[in-house]
Structure 1
Amino acid sequence: MRLLTLATAVCLLVGSPCLAQDPPLRRLEACLVLAGENRGELKAALAQAPKEQREDLEFLIQHMPPSDLSSLSAEFLLEHLTYAHRAWASSPWKERISRELFRNEILPYASINERRDAWRRDFHERFSPLVAEAKSPAEAAAILNQKVFPLVGVRYSTKRRKADQSPYESMETGLASCTGLSVLLIDACRSVGVPARFVGTPLWADGSGNHSWVEIWDDGWHFTGAAEPTGDDLDRAWFTGRASKAIPADERHGIFAVSFKHTLQRFPLVWHPEADFVFAVDVTGRYVAGDLPWPDGTVRVRFCATDADSRLAGRLTVLDAKGKRVFEGQTRGDNFDANDHLTGFLIPGCRYEAQWSQAGDSRKVRFQVEKDEQLVNLEAAVIGGQAQGLNRKEAKAVASELWKTHAERIRTERSAEIKARVLEVDGQRMPFWYKAFGKAPSDGRSLWISMHGGGGAPAAVNDQQWENQKGLYKVEEGIYLAPRAPTDTWNLWHQGHIDVLFDRLIEDLIVLENINPDRVYLMGYSAGGDGVYQLAPRMADRFGAAAMMAGHPNETVPDGLRNLAFTLHMGANDAPYDRNKVAARWRDLLAGLHEKDPSGYEHWVEIHAGKGHWMDREDAAALPWMAARSRDLRPERVVWVQDDVTHKRFYWLAVEQPVARSRIVVSRKGQEIEILEAQGVQTLVLRLDDSMLDLDEAVRVSQGGEVLYEGQIQRLRKVLAKTLAERGDPKGMFCSELRVQLRDPDEAGDQP
């Protein structure tokens, strides 16, 4: 009851009558729980914040990264809150800045992953006099860009200590990269009430490098290079030509603006690729459009396609009154800035027809051009106020078309990397070798990913281990593939980049080698076995079975193996690091889990008598055992335990904000879905299709006897497209999804 009392106290503190009816407060309480020992600091800040500013502080807490939740003090937050409001209130343009804009582009204390400095009061007092005569945010920003850097003694240099410097780190050395300069200018702008945000591209389309800069809001977004002033003007910079060649919706060659508020898009931090706590919107279209000529006698017309709750990407064609094609392009999806729309130039007063299509969904609308920046929305057909969903036949057809398009893209874009036998993602390079065995079955080949040992050794040692792994096993049928670990560290195979690389490898080979995604198998020896221990539970929905040979699990647990056949082989005399004892312990753990859940946790543990670390190939017995098993991607019960490397999707479940060590257990039977356990999970996404239940009938979702949802769930093209894009797995496409807010864990704990 203690935590329930705290939750109730916070609920009363922020003035909500009912936590269950107020999702933002549920998120707030979840954040306070995640803060751990620092919860008291956040609560103290909430208690001391002025009433009229409290919701702004709640916004910060709800959207700050987990590391900030557990470390920022009440003093730090309150100083930022106080001086952000002071700057906003004293600016001549206050009435032009909405509360939403203030919260996301003035209030935040950081832009990316830089060190958290208490710069707000200092900068407000230093820089306010510089802009005392400025009449607009743009004018103030231009002044700051000219005067701040000489004033604080910071200049551009590749000799800076690191890319992601905080303002004071840059000021201490006097040197900064474009990233550090942008952070400093953004903070200077925010300190005087100018909305500003961090913008950048991971890699210019011509391959010439990455770059960061700043956007300023003044009745629309405008850009400028930090420490690269262009007089009193914005929207001028040396990089406009390169920016005009950026590629929308491309995570390598697109242009992204940071959002403190959570979005569906992560900002690609090239200097810290594993970070997933900086959010963004895709703003590429605005930079590309800026390079287009504006024909005489035309105005700008913007286009979008929407359904009930989102914007859709798709192909758009505009015809004139005679049926002649005059414009075409790609509409923006939800991962783009809300103000970024496909834009064409049309003649005012004339009538046109816009035709839009995407994977089986086609729409058209006739319109007359009436004004500049007119927005033409190709909305979904609606029934009862909601976007019309697909029927079973349509969903199947859309899935087929989406898959054909995806497969063609993989053939075009990925064939070279498979031919070269090397993958490179976020700076991590993974060579691999493979060989085909046996005759390919009609439903596709199996894939055997076999991880070598070594680790914590010179590259030459690990290279030899890789060579050994290539010939260690032979399969009756399938592609036997031995990757070379990207690093030579002790934890070769269970760092976060391995998950990303293996996902891409499987996605490629499903298309390029006709791999059956239900028959992908994972195995590894020694350090490779360490990787199996870790990867198998957290990526269980990728594999048909997994085999661990002579490894150590470190901190991981077997709970996530509920639906993955798992075999473990260990020499009885393999005593270093207690590998043999730990293997015996896992044997008991798996047996106990299977006893409690007889339809899950299929396993075979073999402790090979008289064998040490080398088992004289007796462990090869694992291969035919695995080959007899395949993946079930839609099991009736799912146990999902997040590791320190987190995932957003597991079987038919998904979360938008994964939390390390969180746990969720869900079961389904007929039209009923029950949340059995939920620790560290506030919002759960259920992915469904007609193979699991009847989507033409009502679905009931419950937790602890309480009904969370009851009703029909639509089949939607966007869900099919999204679930395909996540994994590139034709069998991993779902046509429906439902978000449910889970009951507060404290309340759940009080159930009899």
Structure 2
Amino acid sequence: MSPLVLSSVCLGLFAPAARCAPKSTPMNRKLQAAKWWPSTTDKALAGAGTNRRQLVIALQKVPLAQREGLRFLLENMPARDLQSLSSQFLLDHVRLAYEGFAKAPWKTRISNALFLNDVLPYSSLTETRDASSQLLQGKARLIVAGAKTPGEAAQRLNAKLFPLVKVRYSTARQRPDQSPIESMSTGLASCSGLSILLVDACRGVGIPARVVGTPMWANGRGNHTWVEIWDGKWQFLGAAEPDEQGLNHGWFVGDAAQARADVPQNAIYATSFKKTGLSFPLVWAPTVGWVNAVNVTSNYTPKIAALNPNETRVQFRVVDAQNRRIASAVAVTDAATKNEVFHGVSKSESSDLNDFLSALLKRSEHYKVSVGGGALQDLVVGNQSEQLVDLTIATVAAPIKAEESAQLKMALQAYFSVSSAQQNTWKFSPTLQNLLRDHEEAVRQIAWEAYRAAPIHQKAKQDFDGHQVSWNQYLSPYTFNTVGTRPKNGWGLVIAMHGGGGTAKEVNDEQWRGMQSHYKDHPEAGGYVYLALRAPNDTWNGFYDDYVYPLVANLIQQWTLFGDIDPNKVDILGYSHGGYGAYAIGPKMPDRFAAIHASAGAATDGETAALNLRNTPFSAMVGEFDTAYDRLERNKRFDQEIRALRGTRTDIYPVHIDVMAGFQHGNLRDGDMLVEMLPAVRNAVPHELSWLMTDSVISDFFWLRTDSPAKTREVRATCRDNKIEVNLTNTDSIKVFLDRRLVDFDKPVTVVLNGQKREMKVAPNLLTFCQTLARRGDPQLAFSAEIDLHL
């Protein structure tokens, strides 16, 4: 036996644990030579599962000069990418990244660490991994040709790329975390989608870039995402929001300056591909923890000087009758001196939802505001650091010929004077039907005047004259006083509800008397009626039982008929017992109110539905030591529920809950709540509705109706661009009411019910209009067409 063979045998005998070397073949020698990566990479490969072979192929084929980059990506990428990305995707992306960087004039000023973490990566957040980088690189290269610095190049991209690829901001985008290819396919993207697109384009031409954002502004008005690029230091820009002042300017500077590094929800984060131990908070995917981040709050908090303590940043949002944001001239004048103190143009739907026209105005001062050169509106600045003011440009009714108007008025007066049985079979002439089709707003005004004058309101008039409201056997007296001067569209109505509840009548009467002056008068905020409502009994739930809701509806109708109020300016609020009432009444019937407030109350299980507050301002105030009956915790849970419902959006659920430090149940400082509430204007026809029924009493909800309301029945509906989408849960039918504020009757209407699609022609009908007007007793809740939907 030769010595060589003997050595082999001895190795097998005396070292049984050792693995014999594989047979040496050309293929094995090639594979062994290709194994250049360290154990840290092998550790990452261990998490690739069945995709390990793809990653190994990439490691074997990557050119020598690009090995470090591929290794960096593999050792830092999340598990989902390890388990799914193909070798070809990785090799193509790495090649393009190195090629793009090699052509950058500023490449010698970029460190290797910056290149690896902020130029090389194929992703920023949770977007789809696709060929976006390859698609964008050529377009970006043409735009930045001749640029000398990363900052100059990034600003060119921000100004020219989005128009080139035809992508704009919109809340109608499919997902918040779209890849550039997905955004370009629809032309719509969120602020996150826009930022992802700009970051990809920057990286493709060798500009270090990263996504930056906050899960919630410190003022509670939502989240936002933007971009940072490296040019000697990290500098920011708003994606698709080029600023002529250059880098480090944008509408969100003031919001960012209030960020709090030590409060995770209000801090500012920048993405990092390299693992950092800190996660980038994703509002649309709160359980995802694999997007790495660094806390960069300190880069933003000193950006602006502290706000003058005597000034408030007033933010203006102008909407049309369909609640769409529009660009319109806004002018603010001092009410005393008549001098103009500010003017500007409001933001349209193409701007981020948190981007407002802003002005610094003196606190506690009275101003006049005009929109588009129209009539002046009152504005009282509060004592908070920020104040959002919604301004609506009303629809002007097209005129009707005098002869036709008289004919319509006579027919409507006749209709509202007959019995309900006769009304059900009533026939309006084709001429009058055409008037509704062509002059809806003018017909709305004439119909309302005919309804008001009809001889069917004797009981309501008796109650009004007696300062009381009733429903069935329940009766509530009230006191009222007018504050300020009558606005153009009628008085506002403030319904205030007292504390007390399940106690002696004398105690509740005393609480009622206290409520008659609890909330301070604010005539400078516009004229309104302050109405202190007495509960109809002395029970513990006097303001939140099934009889209360029709009682309050009768109260509003009574004042709309006889009190010269504007039904779009009705507010309701209360303290303690009344706060519980606001927590129940407001979410059950938000279509009746401009704003709702509850002090020292709490949500009631099975009665308070946060889901229903999608479009209506709601606020609550509770003391941090008000723990009786679980009040504090109920408010906190309600706040958490609202935040979950709101998600990534900032245009829905205008709700905030304030926990007052140092306070118990009594003496909360809510006396000036009307300053915050009075500017609100009801939107009677929002384009998105969420309705969770919590009783068997309320049948109508904005433009939805059911004949059989019951607990747990849920409807979610949208109406946009002549398309109605409805999803039903625990019910099989719903009625949808429409008018020209929601659809164009000259075009087909598409209806999608629980995923089933159909197209139909819908026509306005004067009888439907009159029936809904009579049922709701509110001209803004009268509709001209009805669609019955059944599963």
User: What TM-score do the two structures reach when normalised by structure 1?
Assistant: 0.47
User: What TM-score do the two structures reach when normalised by structure 2?
Assistant: 0.45
